[in-house]
Structure formats: structure tokens, C-alpha cells
Amino acid sequence: MQNVYTEKNERSIAENNGFVNPEEQHFLFPCFLVFSRFLCPSPWESALFDAILGGGMAVIGHASVLQFLENARARERVSHAYLFVGPLGIGKSTIAAQFVGGLLGQTVVQTPEDPWAGLRSYPDLLLVEREEDGKKEKQKKNISIEQIHEVRERLSRGSFLSSWKIAVISEADTLSISAANALLKTLEEPSGKTLIILLAEKVGGVPATVRSRCQVIRCGLVQEREIRDGLLQRSATAEQAEEFARRAAGRPGNALRLLADPAHAAEEEERVAAFIAMLGAPVWQRMQFAEKAVPGKDAIDAVLETGTLLRLWENVLRDGMMVAAGEPGLAHWFSFRDRIAQWASKKTVAGIVQSLHAVRESRAALRENVAPRLALEHVLLHT
């Protein structure tokens, strides 16, 4: 029987392959790392699947997902719709682009900034992304119904090259209600050699009526050793590979950006240093810090900025738990290890776990449109 990712068995498949729901991983990953350093797939497996999927930027990790997609392609059992789910920087767009390239018989040219760079001009592929709002000079909040109407119209035509007709919808969790309803009609009436791929951070962000008609593919956190090896293959120094693999916290895309953009790496380090300075600070000072953390941002940018901060803060708290648990060698932020250890020495493991719970609660609250400042304050009050 073919092994497929469906709503009914996706959890068991994830557990059997060594990863769980990415929403749960944000909290479980610190504990999991203590016991799972040696459970990652062998490097030759990843290299094999990179070659199988037909070129492009080599995928770091995700051997189980790559094997599943290759099996579907080789057996000509490609679903009419896939929903790739995983946090930012995990590699879902890179995997999806290479899968599409394999179906189309194209060698995919990819960059860290744009996995779809070599496919954007392909006539039978439509990429749907949030449009720019010319008046406000920023991206619109939602993917519109007009964009989905274009998807339906393009997929209803014949193929220009007698091949697959494919639509890829990025940030599918930003579909407007009317857009999601319009997309349903296409999902319910699949035609031969037509494929719809949706990309989203969390499966719960996609309307149930849409996700129930897709095969859900969860892209889980990648082992540190795999990320380090991937960076070394991209000409990183041993020191860079070690540091960035740790700082990436299981997300290869984050590591690649740190390697490619020194200014970003330095800015991230400054943000972590600022948070560490708040650990144990008076409450009023922490509240001031929360207020200034996302100044002058529009609503969407403020949410994205807060999500980034929560990820960085979570990594620091995780390091504190590693130190408190007697595993300082598993810390992500070596350069701040002494300062984190000083804070952790005044806390119990249970107290740090409570802080990690606060991050998880703030992340959930952010999805429910809680003000970014309140989400940050909640974490700072529990540190």
C-alpha cells in the first residue's frame, strides 16, 4: 500500500520518521535534541534524494519527505493537490520547487532568496503570492479571490507544452475567505496532469475545507549535523558551519541566510544580546523593552517581526534549559553561553520550561490577532 500523507495518518507517519507537528516542535525540540543527536539520516541518503529530485539547490535534510515525493512521481501516483507545511526557513519551498522541476523535466535554478527563480518563466506554471499594495508600498494582507480566479482560468486551459499544469500558492494561510471558497471548486474537480501546491507555516492556518482536499506534507526540523554538513558543502568555514547550524535551530533556510548575509547575522546577534540583557531585569524595564521591540511597524510587518523575535528568544531559553539540565554543549548561542548560564543558575528546569510555555502561548496568541507588544510582554513576564 502506498504510504501517503493524509489528515488521518499524517501524525503516525511523522512520528515514524522522527519528527512531529512543527507547532509542537517549537516546544519539544529542546528536550528532543538531548536524546536524538545521533538519529539523523546518513549524509549519503540526503545526497541521493537531492540527485533524484533533479537538480537545483541541494536540499538539506528532509529525507523522508523527499523519498515520499520521489515514490509518488516514479509510480505516477502524484496527487492533484499537496499542502506543504512547516515554519519559515525549513525548506518547504525548495523541496516543492524541485519536485515541480522533476515533474516538468526541468533542471531547477534556485537561489537562497528565491527557490522558484528558474521556473518563474515556465508557461505551464503559475506562482501565486500576496500582491503589492501600491498605495501603502507593502504586501496586501490576503491572497485575493481575483488571484484564485486566475488560477482556475489558467488551469482550465490546455497545456502549452503538453505537460503538467501547475499552480503554486505561497502563504496559503493568507487566503481570504472568498478566495478559499473559490479554490474549493478547483480542488473538487481535479483534471488529469493538473497539480495545485499550497505552502503554509501551519496546517491550522489553512481552512479545513481546503486542507482536507490536499495531501499534507509536514516538513519537520532538521538535525544540526545535517545542516552543518550542508553548509560545509557550500564553502562555509568549519567555524561558520558549526555556529550557523546551531543558531538555525533546525531550519536550514535560516542557516543559509546567515551564511549568505553577514549583516543579517550581525543584526540577529544584536537582538539576542538585547534579550539576554533583559533576563532578570526589573519588570518595568522589561515592559519598556517590549514596547520598543517593534516600533513603527504596520500590522503585518509587526506580526512577522514579533514571530522572528519569539523564535530567537525561544532559542535563548532553550539554551538556558540545556545548561540547567547539564548539557551546555548543546547550546545554540556559544558566544552568549556564560551569560545564559548565569541566568539559568538562578532558575529551575521547571521554571525555564514555564518560560518556554510562555513563548508557545504568545505564538498562539499572535495567530489570534493579539497585539504583538502584549505577546512579547507575556514572555518577558515569565523570564
Q: What is the DSSP letter of 108?
A: P
Question: What is the structure's pLDDT at 221?
Answer: 92
Per-residue confidence at 159, pLDDT binned at 50, 70, 90?
confident
Percentages helix, strand, coil for the chain, rounded to the nearest 5? 55, 10, 35
- The secondary element (H helix, E strand) that includes residue 233 is helix 224-233
Question: What is the structure's pLDDT at 172?
Answer: 93
Question: What is the structure's pLDDT at 136?
Answer: 60
Burial of 5 (0-12, 13-18, 19+ CB in 10 A): buried
Residue 192: CB atoms within 10 A of its CB come to 7
In 124-223, which residue ranges form alpha helices assigned H by DSSP?
Answer: 145-156, 177-188, 208-211
> What is the homologous superfamily of the domain 10-218 according to CATH?
P-loop containing nucleotide triphosphate hydrolases (3.40.50.300)
* Separation between Cα atoms, residue 269 and residue 266, nearest integer Å: 5
Average pLDDT score, the chain: 81
* Chain segment 13-26, per-residue pLDDT in tens: 333 343 344 444 44
Q: What is the DSSP letter of 204?
A: G
CB 350 within 8 A of CB 257: no
Per-residue confidence at 297, pLDDT binned at 50, 70, 90?
low
CB 211 within 8 A of CB 204: no
* Chain segment 355-377, per-residue pLDDT in tens: 999 999 998 888 777 889 999 99
Beta sheet of 165-169, edge-to-edge order:
125-128, 165-169, 194-200, 81-85, 215-218
Q: Among the listed ranges 41-45, 58-62, 163-167, 270-274, which one has the minimum average pLDDT value?
A: 41-45
* Separation between Cα atoms, residue 362 and residue 359, nearest integer Å: 5
Does the model's pTM come out above 0.85? no
* Separation between Cα atoms, residue 166 and residue 178, nearest integer Å: 21
What would the mean pLDDT of 301-324 be, rounded to a whole number?
Answer: 89
